[in-house]
Structure 1
Amino acid sequence: MPTLKKVSRFIGGNEVRGKFDSHHKRLTGKGVKVGIIDTGIDYTHPDLFRSYHGGSDLIDGDSDPMETKATDGTETLHGTHVAGIIAANGKLQGVAPEAEIIAYRALGPGGYGTSEQVIAAIEKAIEDKVDVLNLSLGNTVNGPDWPTSLALDRAVEHGIVAVTSSGNSGPGVWTIGSPGTSSKSISVGASTPPQKIPYLKLSGTGKMVPITALAGSKEWDLNQGEEIVFAGIGEEHQYKSDMKGKIVLVERGKITFTEKALFAEKVGAKAIIIYNNMKGNFAGNLEIEVGIPVVSISKENGFWLKKQLGNGALVRTFYQNESDQLADFSSRGPVTYTWEIKPDVVAPGVAIDSTVPKGYLSLQGTSMSAPHVAGASALLKQAHPDWNPEQIKAALMNSAEPLKDKEGVYYEPTAQGTGRIDLTRALETEALLYPGSLSFGQVPLHGDRIRKKVKLTLDNQSDEKKAYTFKYPPYTKGLQWGIPQKVEVEPKQKKDVFVTLDIYSNGMEAGLHHGWMDVEAGGRIEKLPYLYVVDEPDYPRVMGFEFGFGDTAGTYKYEFYLPGGADEMGIALYDPDTLRFEGFLDWGRNLQRGVVRKTFKKDELKLKEGLYKAVIFARKGSREDTMETDLILEDSEGKKR
């Protein structure tokens, strides 16, 4: 397991320790205020008390942002872990160990909170004039105008470098969630630091299945041939005594990861593998310590493993040293409607050890990658106190290392942005170029020539003249580029130029089209990703459904997001046991894009009390998408209607 020190060294942290600001002070983040909107932090931790400089509790409405303790509900540790990555200053050293941490507790017991609480925390951070703001949180709504994304844009307009995680719903496209969709913030995906990755291989097959340890799991150290058995969804009655000494495979869902693992441990299983119940892999956490390894795999690999069982094949574990690979769980863009490339960059987010209340723990997720970038931003702010958020974002994006997969092919820009951050190069970057990625928007299928134009700012922060030279991307049928010739920018000056793209979409495939443009800036090659969209792409038509009590007694409310509007939408309710249709909670036609909200009196419903399976659907054109969730109708005292 890589230590925090090794990860910091990997992204350039060690070299930074030998660099100084304009006042000849070593770059440690000293004097830079970093706000953390999260579950609070344990400011009594021996590695954090020096860095802690106060905060606010938006859950309880006071000035004590301590993590939730067991006596106050489901205890939390997330914010303390994030704070350690940024500014631990003790046994562990964060990226910016002498930065001043301002904590905002916007997520309460169990890590739950509302958009309103997060927005209130952003507003308080603006009021407190923090320099950098980290939000390792989010939802599954891919829209630029979700309230938390807009609030984060406002924070940047107030001079704050806002850093946010992209989400853990990868590897599919369109999986980035708000506030990672914020246009002006730095959205961060997850890559792997140098580490030893376990793969499973069944005897008689050539397939290698990567496994991902759940946060808090015992390390997977099996290396002999092991028998693997299936235990359904992992409920207690599905475990049998003959599973002792074997690896148990279960499906995600219905009960918690911890419950599944404890039941497996109870029958004497050697380890448990949880496969996803939706496409792709996932990153999960255990609530308490379990005595056996607990790992996750993708739905596709889970189905494959399940099909192989019963033929006597044994599973063996093989270990491979890897680094700079994208984490499967890391959410991908682009952003709907604006078609912006997100994430902007990636940073290590797998097996990251950091501070938690009463100790240390290894966790993973884009929640762990974002604070690496927040810490890096603090060092850049110390080195360049006059730089605005756009310049700091540009320095990180322009200097990033574009990553390649195991076959040596660059990951798509919508998966990695400009690449994995490199702190040393970011601090050395003086020829800035922003925006750090180019979005040419949407064109119709089989259309005539359409010209798209994007403005680029060339910002020379050095004391000497710098030249920018643009190179044409590889030839693509249907595209005609108009790029600047060699452009020279005087010291401490900026110059705006335009890149044009004529798109002849006739004969092109519908969907996302992206690539890279090389720009030589100040003697160094930078890879500038670009994207354009042909026709109406296949993004989900409905997202983020929530249902609960209204703000006044005797009412319910719901909300969801339509990224492209809808010709028709409905919330259909079914009996969860018989799947018999019981009625519509709501239905409508010709809805505009954006957030859909409604509050209604419970007496207006012609539905009986109890549990329902809700199917939320939205249709636009020839495409219809659905979401399913459980929904309970009961009064505000918890009684069913």
Structure 2
Amino acid sequence: MRYFFLLILLCFSLTMLAAFDQQEDEEEVTRIIEVDGDPHLIKREIERDLPRLEVMTVYDTVFNGIAIKGKLEHLTKLSKIEAIVNQHPVQTYRTTSNDNMNQSVPFLLQGKHEQRNIPFTGKGVKVGVIDTGIDYTHPDLSGNYKGGFDVFDFDDDPMETLEENPTIHGTHVAGVIAANGKMKGIAPDAEIYGYRALGPGGFGTSVHVIAAIEEAVKDDMDIINLSLGNDVNGPDWPTSVAVDKAAALGTIVVVAAGNTGPDDWTVGSPATAAKAITVGASTPPVKIPVLTDRFAGKAIPLIPMMGSNKWKLDKRYQLMYGGVGDKPLKNARGKIVIMKRGKIPFTEKAELAEKSGAIALIVYNNEVGEFQGTIDDGSIGIPVVAVSKEDGEWLKQKSKSGNSEWLETEYIDIVDSLAPFSSRGPVTANWTIKPDILAPGVAINSTVPGGYQELQGTSMASPHIAGVAALIKEAHPDWTPKDIKTAMLSTATPLKDKDGHLYAPTEQGMGKVNVEAAVQPALQFNPSQLNFGRFNNSFPKKKIMVKIKNNEKSSQKVHFSLPKKKQGLRWELPKAFTLAPNQSKRVEIGLHVTPAFLEKGLHQGWIRMGTPDQTFDLPYLFMMETSDYPRAMGFEIATSTFDSTTYEYQFYLPEDAEKVKVDLYNPDTLVYERKLFELTNQQKGVVEGKLARRDLGEKGRYIAVITIQNESRHYSYGVPIDINEFP
């Protein structure tokens, strides 16, 4: 389904770009371009050969490029310069929120205490928010706001979009980090800088994001927060590479994991960057509605859709089944309508239910598991919620039994559970655990232009961690990004599900951040996660060196416990040893596998390490031969920025492919139309290429089916594309 959602985003972006181009013929516009070679030399070449263009700035830190201003007719002449590498024009980056004061901040900072128990407030620490901009006039932010840059409009005013397709996201994120007024953020004395990389509606491109990272690094930000992402699950997508470069240069980079859970392999770039602190979402203390049937012993949690009114029903109501919402509803007045997900957008389903007199709408999943939905904010007056496929089918049968009047709503308190929408790892190509850590991301109230609003998503979890990083940085100004990440991960608390079992490492990383312990960690171990990569018959044994440091004033005896015995696995763990105060020691953790006794796919779990005072759970992960990871991602195609007769495409391969073929299908009938192109012996990584306009065939909207072939195995996936945009 997310590919069809992506169609909306891509088509919106293409439509907007086309509209801008029509308006820009006589106007000067700014474009950020990627170059191959020394950008300073290319700047001089442009100034010499194309004097009507103005070079605004040069990027040479995490990105190799130039920002150029001029009329569109003059910008097209840049295609004559061989060193110009076209920007990624279609790949859309979007905010990772799904759409009483903030309860998550005191929840993290107080723990068992009744008041803030941490003496640090982020004073003197510079935090850059790469997002939709910041409403720096907000009374809770104006005192801490210190500046920034807008790479979308290319000026020094990173204000939120307040008129056409307005945004609120960056202001909300900034408030979680460092609001200091009616609301208090995690680090209320930190300095906030805004870098607007996402424009109207919260959309931007890879180049906007990378350019914003570059601006933030050059401005000497201590920390940057990126509550944005895409669907490309690979460590070497350009934005992930830029994040790793920024961290290598001394900037702490915190990134939201994404909201496409609960499936594996859903963490997207730049959250896939190895050096990033990638953040998944947990729940702070919240009260959720549960639909109950006491006689059947059934309790169904209701997941509010973003943009919906809150569920406040306090009586028994009858259920009515409404199909998928494509037909009129009769006798729905005063009832709870239940519909199946699919075919009709959530907002249209809700409009139909409301117009029919329904008191509320429940949408159940059309595939296994829970999901997070969104409706147009403010357009619907009734509550709209989501439930799993299993619960929805039970409610559907209940609606037809005549006994549904016995269903009523109860409200229960939940805390420290994994948000179902939070994206899961691992990462393709290097097969590592992501996310790294969890923070509250459900029902987070924070600053927005004109006031405060509740949002949820990993976008809201990420700034909690950025704020915590500011507290640690103030406490330890000489610590590197690696030190700060290690402190957070070493002290995190693994979460358990409702049955008392630890969530998988690819769901929670090290667990929920423990702020007090992270600021003054007793023990640090790096790496904190044991990523063994891929095993096969040729490589049945691997070892990982772990550095353990004792920060306590007294000696600490460290010991390891073997995991529950599993056929096919043999562990080599260090013998118990003692660390003196401030002493470090490198130990080796080895794993032998016997492929004949292990199934192909992902294997993960926990290794327990302990001292006399506490225990630590280290997550491990390895892949046996292969798994069901996506073999291709992020396919996009659009007109070249500088040559309107050429289309450029790109996509991502986590592994080498013998053959890659892209075919076009009719989106309505799914009838095969034609082959777009075919590649052989293609190496892994970002694949880019060009097609002449004449080779594209008839204009229109299609489903592009990308087929990957290796030996006798085939893998295909489809993504909607639009090739209407051409002269």
Could you state the TM-score of these two structures normalised by the residue count of structure 2? Answer: 0.81
Taking the TM superposition and a 5 Å limit, the aligned residue runs for 1:167-178 are 167-178=258-269
Equivalent of 1:44 in 106, 113, 137: 137
Task: Report the 3-state secondary structure (helix = DSSP H, G, I; strand = E; otherwise coil) of the residue aligned with 2:385.
Answer: strand
The residue number in structure 2 matching 1:11 is 108
Q: Separation in 2 of the partners of 1:542 and 1:636? A: 26
CA drift at 1:204: 7.0
Q: Does 1:65 align with 2:158?
A: yes
* CA contact 2:306–2:377 (8 Å) conserved in 1: no
Cα gap change, 1:299/1:555 in structure 2, threshold over 3 Å: closer, same or farther?
Answer: farther
* CA contact 2:544–2:590 (8 Å) conserved in 1: yes
Cα gap change, 1:175/1:406 in structure 2, threshold over 3 Å: closer, same or farther?
Answer: same
Q: Does 1:398 align with 2:490?
A: yes
* CA contact 2:110–2:117 (8 Å) conserved in 1: no
CA drift at 1:134: 0.9
Equivalent of 2:520 in 412, 422, 428: 428
* CA contact 1:448–1:506 (8 Å) conserved in 2: no
Equivalent of 2:290 in 199, 204, 222: 199
Query: Aligned residues, how many?
Result: 623
Equivalent of 1:76 in 152, 155, 167: 167
The residue number in structure 2 matching 1:329 is 421
Of 205-214 and 161-170, deviating more is: 205-214
* CA contact 1:239–1:264 (8 Å) conserved in 2: no
Q: What residue identity is the alignment partner of 1:173?
A: D
Of 326-335 and 279-288, deviating more is: 279-288
Task: Report the 3-state secondary structure (helix = DSSP H, G, I; strand = E; otherwise coil) of the residue aligned with 1:189.
Answer: strand
Q: Does 1:316 align with 2:408?
A: yes
Query: What does the per-residue CA deviation read over 1:446-476, in whole Å, with 9 as the maximum and x for residues that have no partner?
Result: x377221111112334455444333333323
Equivalent of 1:90 in 178, 181, 192: 181
Q: Separation in 1 of the partners of 2:425 and 2:535? A: 18
Task: Report the 3-state secondary structure (helix = DSSP H, G, I; strand = E; otherwise coil) of the residue aligned with 2:623.
Answer: strand
Q: What residue identity is the alignment partner of 2:448?
A: V
CA drift at 1:19: 5.4
The residue number in structure 2 matching 1:127 is 218
Q: Separation in 1 of the partners of 2:722 and 2:506? A: 37
Q: Separation in 2 of the partners of 1:287 and 1:55? A: 31
* CA contact 1:399–1:426 (8 Å) conserved in 2: yes
CA drift at 1:5: 4.5
Of 405-414 and 567-576, deviating more is: 567-576
Cα gap change, 1:196/1:16 in structure 2, threshold over 3 Å: closer, same or farther?
Answer: closer
Q: Does 1:155 align with 2:246?
A: yes
Taking the TM superposition and a 5 Å limit, the aligned residue runs for 1:344-363 are 344-363=436-455
Q: What residue identity is the alignment partner of 1:555?
A: T
CA drift at 1:64: 0.9
CA drift at 1:621: 5.0
Equivalent of 2:600 in 487, 492, 510: 510
CA drift at 1:178: 1.3
* CA contact 1:33–1:131 (8 Å) conserved in 2: yes
* CA contact 2:256–2:462 (8 Å) conserved in 1: yes
Equivalent of 1:484 in 574, 577, 595: 574
Q: Does 1:56 align with 2:149?
A: yes
Q: Separation in 1 of the partners of 2:339 and 2:255? A: 32
The residue number in structure 1 matching 2:199 is 108
Of 387-396 and 545-554, deviating more is: 545-554
Q: Separation in 1 of the partners of 2:585 and 2:698? A: 65
The residue number in structure 1 matching 2:50 is none
Q: What residue identity is the alignment partner of 2:152?
A: I
Query: What does the per-residue CA deviation read over 1:114-140, in whole Å, with 9 as the maximum and x for residues that have no partner?
Result: 111111111111111111111111111
The residue number in structure 2 matching 1:23 is none
CA drift at 1:305: 4.0
Q: Separation in 1 of the partners of 2:295 and 2:662? A: 48
Cα gap change, 1:90/1:127 in structure 2, threshold over 3 Å: closer, same or farther?
Answer: same
CA drift at 1:627: 2.9
* CA contact 1:106–1:113 (8 Å) conserved in 2: yes
Q: Separation in 1 of the partners of 2:612 and 2:477? A: 22
* CA contact 1:144–1:178 (8 Å) conserved in 2: yes
The residue number in structure 2 matching 1:240 is 329
Q: Separation in 1 of the partners of 2:109 and 2:610? A: 22
Q: What residue identity is the alignment partner of 1:8?
A: V
The residue number in structure 2 matching 1:274 is 363
Q: Separation in 2 of the partners of 1:613 and 1:555? A: 20
* CA contact 1:283–1:365 (8 Å) conserved in 2: no
Cα gap change, 1:521/1:126 in structure 2, threshold over 3 Å: closer, same or farther?
Answer: farther
Equivalent of 1:261 in 350, 354, 357: 350
* CA contact 1:455–1:497 (8 Å) conserved in 2: yes
Q: Separation in 1 of the partners of 2:591 and 2:162? A: 55
The residue number in structure 2 matching 1:407 is 499
Cα gap change, 1:177/1:498 in structure 2, threshold over 3 Å: closer, same or farther?
Answer: same
* CA contact 1:234–1:260 (8 Å) conserved in 2: yes
Q: Does 1:579 align with 2:670?
A: yes
Q: Separation in 2 of the partners of 1:371 and 1:186? A: 11
The residue number in structure 2 matching 1:613 is 703
Q: Separation in 2 of the partners of 1:540 and 1:324? A: 30
Of 511-520 and 100-109, deviating more is: 511-520
Of 315-324 and 617-626, deviating more is: 617-626
CA drift at 1:199: 2.4
* CA contact 2:102–2:444 (8 Å) conserved in 1: no
CA drift at 1:410: 0.9
Equivalent of 2:638 in 515, 529, 548: 548
Q: What residue identity is the alignment partner of 1:363?
A: L
Q: Separation in 1 of the partners of 2:106 and 2:117? A: 14
Cα gap change, 1:303/1:560 in structure 2, threshold over 3 Å: closer, same or farther?
Answer: farther
Q: Separation in 2 of the partners of 1:85 and 1:599? A: 43
Of 487-496 and 163-172, deviating more is: 487-496
Task: Report the 3-state secondary structure (helix = DSSP H, G, I; strand = E; otherwise coil) of the residue aligned with 2:401.
Answer: coil
Q: Separation in 2 of the partners of 1:114 and 1:292? A: 35
* CA contact 1:16–1:27 (8 Å) conserved in 2: no
Q: Separation in 1 of the partners of 2:487 and 2:263? A: 28
Q: Does 1:557 align with 2:648?
A: yes
* CA contact 1:17–1:27 (8 Å) conserved in 2: no
* CA contact 1:142–1:175 (8 Å) conserved in 2: yes
* CA contact 1:16–1:423 (8 Å) conserved in 2: no
CA drift at 1:281: 3.1
Q: What residue identity is the alignment partner of 1:442?
A: R
Q: What residue identity is the alignment partner of 1:150?
A: V
Taking the TM superposition and a 5 Å limit, the aligned residue runs for 1:208-223 are 208-223=299-314
Cα gap change, 1:151/1:321 in structure 2, threshold over 3 Å: closer, same or farther?
Answer: same
Query: What does the per-residue CA deviation read over 1:185-227, in whole Å, with 9 as the maximum and x for residues that have no partner?
Result: 1111111112222223468755533221123321101233323
Cα gap change, 1:336/1:377 in structure 2, threshold over 3 Å: closer, same or farther?
Answer: same
**Structural RMSD (CA):** 2.5
CA drift at 1:86: 0.9
Q: What residue identity is the alignment partner of 2:593?
A: I
The residue number in structure 2 matching 1:525 is 615
Q: Separation in 2 of the partners of 1:332 and 1:554? A: 40
Q: Separation in 2 of the partners of 1:418 and 1:274? A: 33
Q: What residue identity is the alignment partner of 1:82?
A: V
Q: What residue identity is the alignment partner of 2:104?
A: V
* CA contact 1:39–1:78 (8 Å) conserved in 2: yes
